[in-house]
Structure 1
């Protein structure tokens, strides 16, 4: 087994990408409705205790009290607290290199998040789980988990977790030898980090860029990788010794791989090692020791074996099986070349390999079961939503039917009411016409006969004059209430009526009368307008002494607008001369759903506006 350690998963560096960085004191919250004051006090005490142990890096105690908090959350049936407790158990078990257990707790938190429909938290858990799978060398499984995490982020803005999942997919493609796709996904992560610096830290961007350099090395594009490493080394915060050591070590290793072996190579390797020893960076030390193992492999096998054994001891401490197998591979090879017994190392290699496979199988089984449960839950939710949708559809159908029936009845009521109103108007017009005919045929004729008799007797000329006036008045009443032609003759008849009521000393101007589509207007409305204008002309003729009358007809939208103006002497609103006539006008216009407004002052003429729907 020969594997370039430069490409080993950066375990703890990956941990900080996308993992919830929530302070302990703020992270736990109880949402149980059954929480008593005693329970709340117990929760607060546990949180404070956990916080204290976290500050002191006493992770065994952190895990112990986190388990107590998890038990309490189960007792209280507080799902939110259960999810958070499981997350922290997973996180601090992972810090202690107990990946199998960590994965189990992350998975439990993930299942709870799904049931709470907290998909953002679910994606965070999948990110942590994918990191573990990557660290155990299950690159295909890690990619599947990461892609699943991206699905849960659809429609959610969480650039930190999304970019972290891109990074995992990129690293897995690199380890599987698909460098083209590795660069593609790495570009996505870097671009997102550039576009959203407020969500993705500068140190995280450096990790993405370092991964890019690693991919270029695997492409054997050494000069591009060296240029990128050198740029990163210049840009890195000099106080960040961990990052500085990592870039320096990778740069030295890439120079060595490129064949540019010079005296600076060894110095740079040892300088990076010194920095890592100073800050006790175990992951970094593993990388330095493996690099030095490879560097001395061809010309100083004793020293190479020494560094391989140092790497092995650290990887055992970290419980990092992939790095452990890497170190053992070099130890077995070097011992064989140096004539030393490597039986114990070979046995350890076999045991660790089997243990790693068991871990991967267990993790695959855990996640596969969870995914099946979640798929089943999704189906149940979908079925519930479908059933609910069917019920809602039925309710909407019932409601729509009710509304249609109600609208039908309302429309019928409106039609009947309108018909009743029109019938009343028609009846009123028939009555007026009948009265007119009766006045003309009976009363006027009787008065006329009486006048003939009085004229024949040649008695009382004054009485004869009075009778003639009565006759003329009855004839006028008949004229005012006779029938109105509402067909194609309406416009002409209206013009004739307006002209006949205009005194000989006055002039009348009629504008745009023929522009109105009279054929589309109801018969009742045309009769009402005829009578209204007749009433206005009658009042003008009797009372205004006007010398000029103007009428303007206009169609505005769905209404007909008629403006009337004369230059007569006008009247006050309460003038008795106008009172009854205007009252009649208002009643007629109201009957056809129209409006009548007027304005008149003594000496200022009379203005009116008639408006009704066409």
Structure 2
């Protein structure tokens, strides 16, 4: 199936849709309550609820009441309600297709929730902002926001929001054409929602799963899940989902050359779509209908629709949409034998291509096309009898010229690309050789330093321990303070040797397997258990990480950070349980260290060198360090690290 005939429709929204019929009932009740002149807080809450329920009935009405809710919330100074209203208005703008206003409202809500340390609220806003990044094709930012939200939801065992976020991640993979991962993520979400009979969520999830199957040319499963989406959307009154479902099925019917069925479905989609207020959605659906009208030879109707969609695409400055719109207008005008219109839209398309590509050849072609149109109009006035012959001759000439220009431009571009690739490969080879030589020198230096440390410093420390022990045994020390001091010196020297061995271990390795790091951590925990028998230590790690490689610096920094976190929990937190959980999450390594100790108030407690050093160690290896603590509820530290390429 031709990929350019497939349309990706709605994002998997974090917010839910309400049955339209129920929404109208609730709207009526809220307006009745409003007429009773309630107090200021009740009025603000009613406006906020009207914003939400109107979002599935009338976008314009939702924005009207959203403005009132914002005004009342600001008057009251209620930051909690104000943050919620900003989020609701952001969701309304998102459904309207106004992503700029949607982003501004979500960011306003984010600022308030950040000041209130509302972690759950921030995670949900991150999810919604990621949806906007996805719409703007900023996929890296979108994926980062989704993964951050997912980590939070999974950390608090919020199953529903975790699956919602997984659905969004699946959509990013769909946009990136990684259909295998998209299928895995979204299928998992659909199974979860079917188990729990979440009709509102199934409306969007089944639609997205149908889109994945359509991309891999599995039209049977695509139709199956589009049908499921229609049933779910109909049961909850999701008009946008219903319209999208009809439209996608119609697209398949068009590919199957079932024009009559396709037109019927497009008409159903249009009827539902008319009840929405999203200009972008209407334009996208209308454009599909216009293409079907061209296939059915309903040319005047097709041109009427295309002129309407052109205005919308121009307004929102969607150049990619305008390109296909102009091409369709050229085709329709040619079939209607309207040469002036053909020339006009050829000019428009050429100018647009020039703007997008900055290609001198395209610019010259546009100038030639304009010149041709001028000469043609003059000849049409002077030589009407030779109109058809001249037009055909010039059209063939300009087409040939355009074809030659495109071929020449392609060959030049290809030659330059090959040359650039060759230069890049040569540069990369030189760089790699330099890095290898540098690494060899560094490894030799490390080996020399580690030998010096072992032979000199290690031997000296061993001598100190031996000397202290000899003093204790050789003399009958009666002074308890002196005996304690000697014992302290011996213990310090022994612990220094252990630290020295860890450092030498790291220095002697270019790379450290995660299995080596796991053994070191287990050894450290065993020693901690011996020192603190009343503390329950639990350490879990994914088996999939056993062969994961780390640089020696990364391995040592991770080990020291975990060591410092456990020591803090033992020394200061009075914890009876310490949990260390290491797992793989896509291209990240997540390390979660939690204790049930006394915790501390982050707002009033000044961070000491230990916490500062842990955070700096993780930032030095380009990781993310996050600490959450609350008095009486323990401390949780999350390390998020990049896997080595």
Indicate the TM-score class for this superposition, using the shorter chain for normalisation: 0.3 to 0.5
- TM-score under structure 2 length normalisation: 0.44
Structure with greater Cα Rg: 1
